Amino acid sequence: MRPLTLALALALLAALPARAAPEPRPGAAAGGAEWLGPPPPASPRRVVSLAPSLTDVVVALGEAARLAGVTRYDDAPEVKGLPRVGGFLDPSPEAVLALRPDLVLWLADGGAFPAVRRIAALGVPVLALPVVDVPDVLACARLVGAALGNAAAGERLARSLEEAIERTSRRAAALPRVRVLMVVGREPLVVAGPGSYPDALLRIAGGANVAEGNRPWPIYPLEKAVAANPDLVLDAAANEPAEGMARLAAIPAVRAGRVARLPNDDALRPGPRLVRALDDLLRALHPEATTP
Amino acid sequence: MKRPTAGRASAALALGLAAVALSVALSCALGSQHISVVAALSGLEPDRSILLGLRLPRALLGAVVGCALAASGTALQALLRNPLAEPFVLGVSGGAALGGTVVLLAAAGLARLSGPAGALLASAPPVVLGAVAGAVGSTALVFALGRIGGRLVPEAALLVGIVFNAFAAGVITILKVLVPPEQAARLLYWLMGALGYETAGTLAAGAALVGVATGALVLLSGQLNLLSLGDEEAASLGVHVGRARGAVFLAASTATGAAVALSGMVGFVGLIVPHLVRRLAGPDHRLLVPASALFGAAFLVLADTAARLAFLTLGSEPPVGALTAFAGGPFFLWLLRRSGRSA
């Protein structure tokens, strides 16, 4: 009995953590925006944002005063004192309802769907916005502007974002293409893959993403990263110490010091921070052309 | 076996019912927001929505899931004649999760060909069916492979279950890579073992299924008493062993499958609750099964209330499955040591 009992205990302990493997990145549903719940008021006054990038949109529209609640990840100074209603994947319906909002902005995502569906069912209008790509960011600015009863501001914001894109791609067109690997996590190595938001930004800023496949946020084999031999490795893990990149020294560019660290996570937040993200990317990809 | 005295039986069941009512009331009264029950009942918003739209349905969901897990845990312990048997430990929950995952994966594939057909397959009834099928399959596997020389060896069956659990977790992780990211997020949320916000239809269907399965276990509880003596003894006392065991299998798997479909893998409820109830109600399954079902419901509602309140200052809450595993892991090891001494 004794060896068997020990085996039982060990096997059980081994089986436990296996079921809680974390997903490297949340995904967003593709497709169009959608209204859930009752029809929204023409000009909502108490808005809850369930994603930092949507908070950015409201702030950029000049409508921060209408925000009643944001997520625990929100760090914009304009919303510093606002109540928190949980996270992006785990919003608390109770905290949302207690704020008595007349509009909830939701970055459509499978994980939070049951909670958001319940919020809508209890009588709060929810605007579900799938924001995956650059055109989605422009559409999102217009949709949120319209939902707040300020379509003109939405149009202005979208135009200014379009101009920034135009400006960046014009400057990048005159510069050589840079083959880039964009690292968003070091252990495991997670990169911005084809179809991800930063992949689109890279293209605008004159970069060519060396990551292959059909997943937007692949856990990338280090071997493939080495074989791809990028000209430049972008360190987009702004919240992790820069020294962590030493783990990827097998990639020739890392060994040769051709690593550019992004100063913040703007390039990972599909929203109005796109302007700053494009500037940062252009500078990182073409230091020779952008430093005076 | 002596019939439990009517007094003891009715006292235990009344206590169980009171525990369910009390836990649901407590779960409705407590939460991150301060609400007034009086205001809520007189229709004042947002108190009304928070009480009747969020807390009450979630408490009922917890009661249904806890009832299913505790009742099937009691039944599996009797069948295996081992106090360590439990849907999660035996791999029945893992099989149910795998079954449900396969249906969701098939739905994701089908959605590429036809959106509405995919959505239909990803809706609650097919997922519940997949989970029940997975639970039945893994129970059959555990009890078939747990036989050595034609005799059921409880420790072997437990090992098979634990290995199957690890296997199912691995397969689910692989399947998760194959589905689109938003499906993976949904899958992850479901598997975590969290009580969420199911639609009223899903809750009602799940409750009906759990009700039927638990009812069947209560009806079979007299035969469970005889089965727990051993196959030969049960047969000599006139029990059709194969048929009775098959019926208990099916009912326990159905209850577990429905519970997993509703809330993912919440472990150890079927271990903790029957053991505590045995101290109150004694070993007779005719009382133990219904009493475990009731106290299981109360237990999970209370555990979920604790999960909602424990990390309030951080603005976050762990899935209730993490809490039951936190309590259940050490409890399992304690039981293991104790049964090791008596063996």
Return the minimum-mean-pLDDT range out of A12-26, B21-35, B312-326.
A12-26
pTM: 0.84
Q: Are residues A27 and B316, on separate chains, in Cβ contact within 8 Å?
A: no
Q: Are A260 and A284 in contact (CB under 8 A)?
A: yes
Return the minimum-mean-pLDDT range out of A172-176, B231-235, B323-327, B337-341.
B337-341
Higher local confidence (pLDDT), B168 or B343: B168
CB-based contacts of A232, cutoff 8 Å, min separation 6:
A178, A179, A180, A181, A207, A253, A258, A259, A260, A284, A285
Give the alpha-carbon dihedral of A69, A74, A77, A79, to 10 degrees.
0
Q: Which among A72, A98, A121 has the least Cβ separation from residue B50?
A: A98
Distance (Å, whole) CA B242 – CA A158: 70
pLDDT digits (tens, 9 = 90+) for A76-115: 999 999 999 988 888 999 999 999 999 999 998 767 888 9
Q: What is the CATH number of domain B34-342?
A: 1.10.3470.10
Domains of chain B: which residue ranges? 34-342
Q: Are residues B316 and A23, on separate chains, in Cβ contact within 8 Å?
A: no
Beta bridge partners of A233: A181, A259
Nearest Cα of chain B lies from the Cα of A77 at a distance, in angstroms, of 19
In this structure, the number of other CB atoms found within 10 A of the CB of residue B333 comes to: 15
Q: Are residues A1 and B188, on separate chains, in Cβ contact within 8 Å?
A: no
Q: Is the CB of B53 inside 8 Å of chain A's CB atoms?
A: yes
Mean pLDDT, residues B208-224: 95
Higher local confidence (pLDDT), A186 or A166: A166
Q: What is the mean pLDDT of chain B?
A: 88
Q: Which among A14, A94, A111 has the least Cβ separation from residue B188?
A: A111
Q: Superfamily for A34-131? A: Nitrogenase molybdenum iron protein domain (3.40.50.1980)
Q: Which two tokens stand for residue A109?
A: 């995502």
Q: What is the mean pLDDT of chain A?
A: 86
Q: What is the ipTM of this complex?
A: 0.80
Residue B26's Cα: distance from chain center in Å?
21
Distance (Å, whole) CA A260 – CA A243: 12
The pLDDT of residue A74 is above 50: yes
State the best of A19, A102, A219 to mutate against chain B, taking most chain B CBs within 10 Å: A19
Q: Are A284 and A262 in contact (CB under 8 A)?
A: yes
Q: Residue A168's pLDDT band (boundaries 50, 70, 90)?
A: very high
A34-131 and A175-285, same CATH topology = yes
Q: Which two tokens stand for residue B317?
A: 């809450």
Q: Are residues B185 and A100, on separate chains, in Cβ contact within 8 Å?
A: no
pLDDT digits (tens, 9 = 90+) for B65-91: 999 999 999 999 999 888 889 999 899
Domains of chain A: which residue ranges? 34-131, 175-285
Q: Which two tokens stand for residue A71?
A: 């997520």
Kindly report the CATH class assigned to A175-285: alpha beta
> In which element (H, E) is residue A14 found?
helix A2-18
Q: Are B276 and B327 in contact (CB under 8 A)?
A: no
Mean pLDDT, residues B112-119: 74
The pLDDT of residue B195 is above 90: no
Q: Which among B159, B172, B197 has the least Cβ separation from residue A118?
A: B197
What per-residue confidence (pLDDT) applies to A64?
95
Residues of A in contact with B170 (CB under 8 A): 18
Q: Which two tokens stand for residue B175?
A: 């399947």
Return the minimum-mean-pLDDT range out of A71-80, A189-198, B119-128.
B119-128
Return the minimum-mean-pLDDT range out of A27-36, A44-53, A230-239.
A27-36
The pLDDT of residue B283 is above 60: yes
Mean pLDDT, residues B20-28: 96
Q: Is the CB of B202 inside 8 Å of chain A's CB atoms?
A: no
What per-residue confidence (pLDDT) applies to A19?
31
- Cβ contacts below 8 Å, chain A against chain B, sum to 137
Q: Are B135 and B103 in contact (CB under 8 A)?
A: no
Give me the DSSP letters along B163-176.
HHHHHHHHHHHHHH
The 8-class DSSP code of residue A154 comes to: H
Distance (Å, whole) CA A48 – CA B101: 33
Mean pLDDT, residues B108-135: 81
The pLDDT of residue B202 is above 90: no
Q: Residue A15's pLDDT band (boundaries 50, 70, 90)?
A: very low
The pLDDT of residue A57 is above 50: yes
What per-residue confidence (pLDDT) applies to A70?
96
Q: The dihedral of CA B271, B273, B276, B278: what is its sign?
A: negative
What per-residue confidence (pLDDT) applies to B241?
86
Mean pLDDT, residues A246-263: 92
Distance (Å, whole) CA B311 – CA B69: 25
Q: What percent of chain B has pLDDT over 90?
A: 49
Q: What percent of chain A has pLDDT over 90?
A: 68
Q: What percent of chain B has pLDDT over 70?
A: 97
CA-to-CA dists, residue B218 to A11, B52, B170, B274, B286, angstroms: 32, 31, 35, 14, 7
Q: Residue A291's pLDDT band (boundaries 50, 70, 90)?
A: low
Higher local confidence (pLDDT), B279 or B1: B279
Q: Residue A292's pLDDT band (boundaries 50, 70, 90)?
A: low
Q: Which of B177, B197, B169, B317 is nearest to A27 (CA)?
A: B177
**∠ Cα A131 A134 A136 (to 5°):** 35
Q: Which among B32, B159, B329 has the least Cβ separation from residue A95?
A: B32
